[in-house]
Structure 1
Amino acid sequence: MLVSLGSVIPGMGLIDAHGHHLVNRHKMTCNAAFPCPRAMRPRVDFWIDVYSRWSSKDAVLHDANKPDRVYDVVRGQACRSRKGSKLVTRHKVAIAAELRSLASKVSQGKKVWGAEAQHFLSMFPRRDPAEIRRAASNIRCQGGNRDRFRKALKRYGTYRPMVRRVLRQSGLQSDIQYLPFVESLYNPAAYSHLGAAGLWQIMPRTARSLGLRLNATVDERLDPEAATWAAARYLNDSRTRLGKVAKKKRSGIRTGELSPFVITSYNYGVNGMERAIRKLGPNFVRVLERYRSRKFRVAVKNFYASFLAARYVAQNAKRYFGNVSANAPLQYRTLKLKKSQSVQRLSAVFGISSKQLKRLNPALTRHVWKGWRPVPKNYRLRLPLRQGGWGSQVKRLQAMTTEHGSKGVINYRVARGDTICAIASAFDVRCSELLSINRIGKKGFIRVGQTILVPGRGGSSRRATVPANPGSYMVRSGDTGCAVAKRFAVACNDLLSTNGLAMNSVLQVGQALIIPGVLTNQGAKTSYTVRHGDSVCAVAARLGISCEVFLAANEMNMRTLIFPGQALRIPRRIPGSVARSTSTQKFDANQKESTAAAPVPVVRKAEIPTAGTTVEYVVRKGDSVCEIALRLETDCKQLLASNQLDKRAVIRPGQVLSVPGVPSDLAESLILESNKEVTGTSLGVPSGQRQPLPEVEPLDQEIDLTIQTASRNGAVIYRINVEAEETLGHYSDWLKSGGTTSIRRLNDFSKGHQLRLGEVLLLPVENDGQRSAFDRERQDYHRVLVEEFKEHYDIIEVLNYVTKKGDSVWRLARTQGIPTWLIMRYNPLLRSAAPVVSQVLKMPSIQRRGS
């Protein structure tokens, strides 16, 4: 039975049948610079009401294509609130049912009775049943913004003088000052669910092209002035490019006619607007009504209308909000730092609290405010205006030495939201190492306020060799399987088997190939390339290695996915035999694979390691101290000093030596292979078993972003797989190569080549220093994306999603309302291959913190 409007829906109350929710008609005047065509007026009226009439606790149900067709307003229920979403859904279902019933009556020529049905019918002047039926499937929920807009007007006072100055100096119309009302409601700390940040809501990959820095210490998207200059550059470039395209369609186009396209390009992109103009000409209303594109959807179509509405409401603020006391304009002095300096030193020298400095310098990241990194050299530090200036303090600062990040052991105080592995990631150390040093239990529980001991950067390396992810390559004309394999320095057989190809298979232009991963450290028989149907333990059995050892060597557990083309490390073995206790030599009938074939040192209780991991080694006949150090990849002098020995000291079989500085991955493999007799807790290994790492959330898991190396014709090649939010410009910056030309030439890219997620890219690396700097800056960039997201959002649940035809990672990110990189974190397979139909993906559901 259909529910009629005007009746009570259980749990919903009475639906308004009298039209009080209809959009107001506003007497808006426009100028030549930013025209408002008559056909767009109803759309603009809707957005004026959104900003001035309905609050954030009102859910406005309207037609997505004709926003001024408002069916109902659910008071006191936000569109996306967990509590209100079910209620809003029931309203939408009831309205859709009424619309379908109405369409049926109209198509059958039946008379429409009742005020509510006639009210709905009045929204469709043409009385077209097909239009009414389509509308039933096109109901959208829009939250009001009256309360937020009022707060935005106060913040507007803080930044208005600066924004107007930058626009004027950039040669742009002053009315563009109202665009941040649409983007961020003039909140410089705004962060969207897709990852856009700051006053002008700039995406990470766009930031670099606009000259903004985004790394572990600075995110200039959050600097209102730097972001405003970046937005001005974007809009000027957009006007220039769109003007050229528009003049080819109509030479006499006026500047004002181009403005709707320029403003919309800020949301949709310049390339998208260029395509629309080429197809339909520089007529904005025609483009709104006729242009069809997968990305040209509700938000894009309403962007210019919402800009006009925000301008109108801000200019008439007193009419809608009464007297709003705007904040005082932000004023400051700028000092360009000649050396890197810590926040603590800056605070002491200038006599300013870190809280004041943070308010004036929002671009500095939490790594700086936590004291983990210094404020970098050449940063433009903002200081409060002060009578007499800061001359003496500046001289004192310049006389001081450069400060660097912490290298010694750090005492970190756990804050809300921290996890042990997230802390490890922030400090660039292994999670297992942090567990061991702090004697943290197997579940990895930590509490707010707890002090965690963190080894400094001078400590052990994060990792030696980890599983290398495969990438993708799009076949070009003339390619063969073995030629592609040779190009990326992988075995031809590995490439063919990974892709299910034979030696005589014919490749199709545009075909996507999986390029097997290669391990950073190359050597004879040190890696295995995963093939279709492989499992970790099956591979380990074929290699004659314990499955547990194989997992540890590749930093995986039994739940870790492996996929074709992935390169897995074959753990090394220590030659020779080591004395063991009797119990170690016993045969375990339940053990499928024996680990007795590779003798290893017995690991016993050791002190907290400093650099690397400390193990205890039982001397065998013929051993010498420096030979032991060589086999365990540590320093001979350090081994002598730790055991109070000199170079002439004689060691005897059965003697136990304490061996410091053993690489963590090697130590873990040794511990696992001797786990029947492990008696201590070094590296978190309790008696008789290996202590598991805590269950690590995907956001806290470290992904391998290091450059992969391989040999080709005697020369070393360097390659990476393209990750989300990366551009050629980023790679150029991280390599300090002075531009993208060398990267394009090495990869034979055309000028317009668009990078694809997972694409294999060759890099022009010249030395180890350049490679290390690239790895560090790339890791920092992605770490900041995760940290900023976690500051604003929580993962509340993870649901399974079955992919449909047409799904791509980009499209899923938009429809699910989450960043692209977040989908990749939860679905690592997508780092090397596009989603396929009926694939089951994990989709995290997010919620803004404090909501």
Structure 2
Amino acid sequence: MNMNLMLNRLRVVFFLVVFMYPAMLVSSTISYTSTKKFPLPGELEPAVKFWIKVYTEYNTNEYILHDAHNLLAIYEVVKFSELHREKMDLPQTRSQKNKLMKKRNHYRAILQKLASSKTKLDQLNSEEKRIFDLFGGTKNRSVFRIAAKNIRMQKGQRNRFYNGLVLSGRYMSYIKEIFRKHNLPQELTMLPHVESSFNYRAYSSAGAAGLWQFTRRTGRRFMKISYEIDERLDPILASEAAAKLMQENYQTLGSWPLAITAYNHGMAGMKRAKRKLHTSDIAKIVAKYRSRYFKFASRNFYCEFLAALHIAQNYKKYFGEIKFDPPIQYKEFILPHYVKYATVAQYLHLEQDELKKYNPALRNPIFKGTKYIPQNYKLRVPIYLNVDQLYAQIPGKELFVAQKRSQWYRVRRGDTLSTIARRNRTSIPAIMAMNNLRSRNRIRVGKILRLPDEIKMQKLNKAEETLVASLPSAKENEKIEKETVETVKPAKAIAPDVVSNKPKAVVQPKPVIDLNLPAAGASVSVLPEIELVKNSNPPVGYLRVEPEETLGHYADWLKISTQRIRDWNDLAYGNSIRLGQRIKLVFNNVTLLEFATSRLEYHRAVEEDFFNNYQVLGTRTHKINRGENIWYLCNYLYNLPLWLIQSYNSDLDFNRLKPGDLILIPDVVEIRSNS
């Protein structure tokens, strides 16, 4: 037999063994219910098998170096020390990052060598031969050239998935009932394994939160998200929202694989893919759809779901017997008043941490006492409590008819803590204590400071006495007084109250009011955010759209419909607003101060959530390439919120970015576990 023919046949056999047999093996071992609703095309089987490996074989201290398209082409699994439960979600150390980078560069060099026409493929060393064989023995050099650019690292998830199975016992019965009520497949209740590993406190660097990882923009369509309450963090309320969103996706797209993918990529994106390729076949869309925004996460989301569904329904095969957390048992009590969280816990004879577990939608300002639990809030309590009787024992002086009002100030260019304190009739130590500031010289433009009221000022007197001794001398103070937020230099570790690389201030609308009016601190602080029209009745004002704001937000804060705002600004239905756009508002139902306070509280909540979970260590410079915009940078390249990037680049107009522009990108790391 001709030697070349024999070699070709051997190559075919090798290709079948390496690629087709794993696919057949996957098909025979990947079992789950409702395969007609959730089909597994043969082309996607290797990817599903890869995610089964990620979820069941490798822990969070193991990193899989693999090809981003041929997922089963695994170059190496790098393991760091022993696995510690408490270190499961800690960020990589510098040495770990360096090691992984060296590994990536090592395999990139091998792939580049295989791509070179100078390399003799029959004279490879053992490691080069192993990498060569991962691609089926092809001699197409371009395969290796592309692979050299597509080396990806995936963190193992076995221990996290196991924990998610245990945690799922608390809420799964409620979630399944919600999906049953909406006539949705029960299999969809496994999706939180992919999104958050059933960690209802999960918070991403892009601002997605909770069991179902809703962004604020999508979440507020179905849930209440305010300074006091964030229902995204409540597994039951968020599951109700997820069911409604899934229902919308399916009704529009007509396919469960597309509806599931749309949960990650967005409804509009999947409609675009379906329209462009003239198909609803998820395998064809994954293989052929090309979009700057259809990245690795979106391409693999359906495969991750199928892997999680298979594992959850066959968990004993991978984890043995599991003791699931028992379902949380509770009853609800509608609060007839505004009331302090500590007061409720005290009179219900509950530890504050225990009550907190029953009410995950309440935010930190409630727990810290800076805000009351809102009136008409459905308080969850242990089922055994006689809550009516216990609540009736709370003294009348501890019950309130209105929410505690906070005073806010947004830092502007030229501000110092000293000038802010004087302008708002407070003290530097008081502001520092209220906002956890570690240095009076490190405040950034745009940062929202909470100002103390009179009662809080009295409580902070002791803090002032403690801090005053550490304040600079009169001579040093004179020097500091000349410093502004523009002169802050980056520190090695930048806390929430710190910025680097001298970001310039966002230009605020010119106020048409006298800032020297003898008004309360809050009114002086927030009114400059809005440009008022003189002698207008009712008051009319203009503002500039800021990151994370929508017409829906303005409507909520004004207590009107979004259509009213569209009418005032000649905005057609469906047209979105853009960053920096000038919007006209009429203050009929709320005062200017109430609106501005709601707005600042919203932005303060966004910042608090982020900096409770992440830390900025420095910045890097990104050069804008053709086709890139700020949306792409935030959501697909760096996975960071727009407001954070803007705070480092306030001299740039994000609506007019062009190739060659330089933009500062914060380097962000997780500072603690969200679990």
Q: What TM-score comes out, normalization by structure 2 length?
A: 0.78
Mapped to 2, the partners of 1:61 and 1:556 lie a distance apart of 42
Mapped to 1, the partners of 2:406 and 2:39 lie a distance apart of 61
Mapped to 1, the partners of 2:62 and 2:653 lie a distance apart of 40
Deviations 1:664-713 (A, max 9, x none): 999xxxxxxxxxxxxxxxxxxxxxxxxxxxxxxxxxxx998833223599
- Please state how far the C-alpha of 1:818 moved relative to its aligned partner: 1.8
Q: 1:823 aligns with which of 645, 654, 658?
A: 645
- Please state how far the C-alpha of 1:207 moved relative to its aligned partner: 1.4
Alignment of 1:389-788 (within 5 A): 389-396=386-393, 401-402=399-400, 404=402, 433-435=426-428, 444=440, 454-456=452-454, 634=518, 706-710=529-533, 717-737=540-560, 739-766=561-588, 769-788=590-609
Secondary structure in 1 matching 2:202:
coil
Map of 1:29 onto structure 2: 31
Q: 2:65 aligns with which of 53, 61, 65?
A: 61
Q: Is 1:151 aligned to residue 163 of structure 2?
A: yes
Map of 2:284 onto structure 1: 286
1:435 counterpart letter in structure 2: I
- Please state how far the C-alpha of 1:834 moved relative to its aligned partner: 3.9
| CA gap 1:97/1:304 in 2 versus in 1, 3 angstroms | same
Secondary structure in 2 matching 1:213:
coil
- Please state how far the C-alpha of 1:348 moved relative to its aligned partner: 2.5
Map of 1:376 onto structure 2: 374
Q: Is 1:45 aligned to residue 49 of structure 2?
A: yes
Map of 2:495 onto structure 1: none
Secondary structure in 2 matching 1:829:
coil
| CA gap 1:73/1:79 in 2 versus in 1, 3 angstroms | farther
2:157 counterpart letter in structure 1: N
| CA gap 1:406/1:173 in 2 versus in 1, 3 angstroms | closer
Q: Is 1:220 aligned to residue 43 of structure 2?
A: no
Q: Is 1:231 aligned to residue 231 of structure 2?
A: no
Secondary structure in 1 matching 2:400:
coil
Q: 2:660 aligns with which of 829, 838, 847?
A: 838
- Please state how far the C-alpha of 1:93 moved relative to its aligned partner: 1.2
Mapped to 1, the partners of 2:421 and 2:40 lie a distance apart of 53
Map of 2:304 onto structure 1: 306
Q: Is 1:271 aligned to residue 268 of structure 2?
A: yes
Secondary structure in 1 matching 2:426:
helix
1:787 counterpart letter in structure 2: E
| CA gap 1:570/1:747 in 2 versus in 1, 3 angstroms | closer
- Please state how far the C-alpha of 1:390 moved relative to its aligned partner: 2.7
Mapped to 1, the partners of 2:196 and 2:547 lie a distance apart of 23
- Comparing 372-381 with 117-126, which one deviates more in the overlay? 117-126
Q: Confirm or deny: 8 A CA contact 1:373 1:404 kept in the other structure.
A: no
- Please state how far the C-alpha of 1:69 moved relative to its aligned partner: 1.7
Map of 1:70 onto structure 2: 74
Deviations 1:576-624 (A, max 9, x none): xxxxxxxxxxxxxxxxxxxxxxxxxxxxxxxxxxxxxxxxxxxxxxxxx
Q: Percent identity?
A: 29
- Please state how far the C-alpha of 1:363 moved relative to its aligned partner: 1.0
Deviations 1:233-277 (A, max 9, x none): 11001111113xxxxxxxxxxxxxx11101011100111111111
- Please state how far the C-alpha of 1:438 moved relative to its aligned partner: 8.2
- Please state how far the C-alpha of 1:789 moved relative to its aligned partner: 1.1
- Please state how far the C-alpha of 1:829 moved relative to its aligned partner: 2.8
Deviations 1:187-227 (A, max 9, x none): 000011111000000111111112x1111110111111111
Q: 1:131 aligns with which of 130, 136, 143?
A: 143
Q: Confirm or deny: 8 A CA contact 2:526 2:593 kept in the other structure.
A: no
Mapped to 2, the partners of 1:664 and 1:333 lie a distance apart of 39
Map of 2:462 onto structure 1: none
- Comparing 181-190 with 156-165, which one deviates more in the overlay? 156-165
| CA gap 1:833/1:84 in 2 versus in 1, 3 angstroms | same
Secondary structure in 1 matching 2:533:
strand
| CA gap 1:122/1:170 in 2 versus in 1, 3 angstroms | same
- Please state how far the C-alpha of 1:155 moved relative to its aligned partner: 0.4
- Please state how far the C-alpha of 1:343 moved relative to its aligned partner: 0.9
Greater C-alpha Rg? 1
Mapped to 2, the partners of 1:124 and 1:206 lie a distance apart of 41
Map of 1:491 onto structure 2: none
Q: Confirm or deny: 8 A CA contact 2:421 2:431 kept in the other structure.
A: no
| CA gap 1:552/1:806 in 2 versus in 1, 3 angstroms | farther
- Please state how far the C-alpha of 1:102 moved relative to its aligned partner: 1.6
Q: Is 1:187 aligned to residue 214 of structure 2?
A: no
Secondary structure in 2 matching 1:142:
strand
| CA gap 1:714/1:320 in 2 versus in 1, 3 angstroms | closer
Q: Confirm or deny: 8 A CA contact 2:424 2:521 kept in the other structure.
A: no
- Please state how far the C-alpha of 1:158 moved relative to its aligned partner: 1.1
Q: Confirm or deny: 8 A CA contact 1:341 1:375 kept in the other structure.
A: yes
| CA gap 1:567/1:453 in 2 versus in 1, 3 angstroms | closer
Q: How many residues align?
A: 586
1:797 counterpart letter in structure 2: G
| CA gap 1:164/1:149 in 2 versus in 1, 3 angstroms | same
- Please state how far the C-alpha of 1:564 moved relative to its aligned partner: 10
Secondary structure in 2 matching 1:846:
strand
Q: Confirm or deny: 8 A CA contact 2:503 2:647 kept in the other structure.
A: no
Q: 2:330 aligns with which of 329, 332, 335?
A: 332
Secondary structure in 1 matching 2:122:
coil
Secondary structure in 1 matching 2:667:
strand
Q: 2:96 aligns with which of 84, 88, 95?
A: 84
Mapped to 2, the partners of 1:141 and 1:155 lie a distance apart of 27
Q: Is 1:807 aligned to residue 628 of structure 2?
A: yes
- Please state how far the C-alpha of 1:320 moved relative to its aligned partner: 1.3
Mapped to 1, the partners of 2:574 and 2:406 lie a distance apart of 47
Secondary structure in 1 matching 2:258:
helix
Alignment of 1:236-255 (within 5 A): 236-243=247-254
| CA gap 1:764/1:135 in 2 versus in 1, 3 angstroms | same
| CA gap 1:779/1:663 in 2 versus in 1, 3 angstroms | closer
Q: 2:293 aligns with which of 292, 295, 302?
A: 295
Q: Confirm or deny: 8 A CA contact 2:246 2:259 kept in the other structure.
A: yes
2:141 counterpart letter in structure 1: P
- Please state how far the C-alpha of 1:663 moved relative to its aligned partner: 7.6
Q: Confirm or deny: 8 A CA contact 1:164 1:174 kept in the other structure.
A: yes
Q: 1:318 aligns with which of 316, 319, 324?
A: 316
| CA gap 1:320/1:284 in 2 versus in 1, 3 angstroms | same
2:42 counterpart letter in structure 1: R
Mapped to 1, the partners of 2:417 and 2:348 lie a distance apart of 31
Mapped to 2, the partners of 1:202 and 1:829 lie a distance apart of 31
Q: Confirm or deny: 8 A CA contact 1:103 1:129 kept in the other structure.
A: yes
- Please state how far the C-alpha of 1:61 moved relative to its aligned partner: 0.9
Map of 2:360 onto structure 1: 362
Which structure shows the higher helix fraction?
2
Q: What TM-score comes out, normalization by structure 1 length?
A: 0.62
| CA gap 1:565/1:726 in 2 versus in 1, 3 angstroms | closer
- Please state how far the C-alpha of 1:552 moved relative to its aligned partner: 9.6
Structure 2: runs of 5 or more not aligned:
1-17, 82-89, 408-414, 443-449, 458-477, 489-501
| CA gap 1:430/1:306 in 2 versus in 1, 3 angstroms | farther
- Please state how far the C-alpha of 1:101 moved relative to its aligned partner: 1.6
| CA gap 1:370/1:455 in 2 versus in 1, 3 angstroms | same
Map of 2:174 onto structure 1: 162
- Please state how far the C-alpha of 1:175 moved relative to its aligned partner: 0.6
Mapped to 2, the partners of 1:714 and 1:434 lie a distance apart of 36
1:728 counterpart letter in structure 2: L
Secondary structure in 2 matching 1:817:
coil
- Please state how far the C-alpha of 1:113 moved relative to its aligned partner: 3.5
- Please state how far the C-alpha of 1:44 moved relative to its aligned partner: 0.1
- Please state how far the C-alpha of 1:64 moved relative to its aligned partner: 1.0
